[in-house]
Structure 1
Amino acid sequence: MYAAFPKDLKEAVSKVFNLILNDTYNKAIDGESPDRVEYLLGDSIVQIPYRIYYIDNSNSFINDLNSMEKMILHCIYSRSDDGFVRQKHLKSLLSMEYEDWAIPYIVKICDEYIVEILEMTYVILRQQDTERIKKFCHQNRVSFCKSYNRMISYWNEFYRNEHKNFKQYIGRKLFRECLGYSRVMENKQT
C-alpha cells in the first residue's frame, strides 16, 4: 500500500493501514489485488491497487485520526471491492480540502461502472474548482484517455439502453466538464 502514496506520507499511511482490519470480503487471501494503476504524481509514480478487499471498519477509529490520516483512509477505501464503501469514502474525500496526492484516487474511480458513483462525483465536482484535477489528467494523458475509453465501454455494456444519448451520459459529462477530457488529448498521446 505504501507505493500508492508519496513517500513522505509513509508514517501516516502506516498508522492508518495498521488500523484497518485484516478481515477481507469473501475471505479473500490477499487484502489487495495484484493489479495496480500507475500515475505520475509530480516527479514520482504512485501505484494504486485496483481493488482492496479489507472490510471497512473505519467507523471504529476514524474520529481518532487527523485530517491527513482521514484523507489517506478515504483514498484507501475508495478502492474497496464493495461499491457502497467506495461511494461512502469518495464522498467523504470530495467533501474535504483534498491534497494533490488524493487526486489519482478521485480520477480512477471515475472510469468505473457504478453510475450512482459517477452521478455523485459529478454533482460534487461541478461545484468545485477542478483545475488541479485537470492538470493531473493532462500530466497522465495516456492513462487518462484509457480511463475515458473504459468509461465508454461500461456505458455501452450497462447503460446504453437507459441512456441512449451518450453526449448526455453522466460519465461523459464528468470526464469532459470536471476532469478536462478533450479529443485533442488522444491525438497528443506519445
Structure 2
Amino acid sequence: MSSGEEVPVSNLLSPDGYLLTWQGKQLELPYRIYFQEPALGAEQLLTDRQRQLLQCLYLRHHDGFVRQRYLQQLLASAELEAFTTPFTFSLLSDYVQEILEVLAAHLAPALLPSYVRLIGENPRYWSQTQGRVASYWDIYYRTGRRGSPQFRHYVGNRLLKKLRAALQENASN
C-alpha cells in the first residue's frame, strides 16, 4: 500500500466473482478489485498485451470513474486481444450509465461475434446480465427523475437489443 503497509492480495479482491467459460476454459473474474492504480507512466513499460491485461483488471475496480477510464483506454487499442471479451462484456451489467455509454459507442460489428460466442458458452450469465440491466435501471432511473431515460431508451437496454439482434442473426446463419 502507499502507506508502506503490506496487505495480502486476497484482501484486495472481493470474495465474490463471476465464473465464466470463455473459449472452452473456465475463467473467474473478480467482482471488484481494490488495488491502487499504477504510477503515472508505468504502463508505458508494458507490451500491448500486458497493457490490455492490466486495463481488463481495472475494469473490475471498485471506483466507477476508474472502470470508465480504463475501458476508454482499452477500447482505444488498435486490436483487442481475445481475453478482453469477458471483461468488457461484464460491464454490460454495470450500473454506471457513463460506462454503458462508452460500451455503446464502441460496440462495433467487429466485437459482436465474440460477445455472441461468450453468450453461447454462458447462457445463464447472459440471463443474469439481462436481469441486472433491468434491475439497475429500476433502482437508479425508474423513478423518473429529471433526465432519467425510460427503459426502452436506457443505454443498457439498447446494448441488450443489439446483442439480441446479433444472436438472432447468428442463429439464422
> Normalized against structure 1, the TM-score is what?
0.76
The two structures, once aligned, show a CA RMSD in angstroms of 2.4
1:123 corresponds to: 105
Give the C-alpha shift of residue 123 in structure 1: 1.0
Shift of 1:58: 4.7
CA deviation string 1:134-157 (max 9, x = no partner): 221222111111011011100001
* Aligned mates of 1:171, 1:120 — CA distance in 2: 11
Structure 1 residue runs of 4 or more that deviate by more than 6 Å after TM superposition? none
Q: TM-score, normalised by structure 2?
A: 0.82
The share of aligned pairs that are identical, in percent, is 26
Work out the CA distance in 2 between the residues paired with 1:104 and 1:111. Answer: 12
Alignment partner for residue 164 of structure 2, among 172, 177, 181? 181
Residues 175, 28 of structure 1: CA spacing in aligned structure 2 closer, same or farther, 3 A cutoff? Answer: farther
Query: In structure 2, do the counterparts of structure 1 residues 167 and 126 end up closer, same or farther at CA, with 3 Å as the change threshold?
Result: farther
Query: Structure 2 unaligned runs (5+)?
Result: 169-173
1:54 to 35, 38, 62: 35
Task: State the alpha-carbon separation in 2 of the partners of residues 174 and 87 from structure 1.
Answer: 16
Superposition map of 1:41-120 within 5 A: 41-96=22-77, 97-120=79-102
- Name the SS of the counterpart of 1:59 in structure 2: coil
> 5+ residue gaps in structure 1?
1-21, 186-190
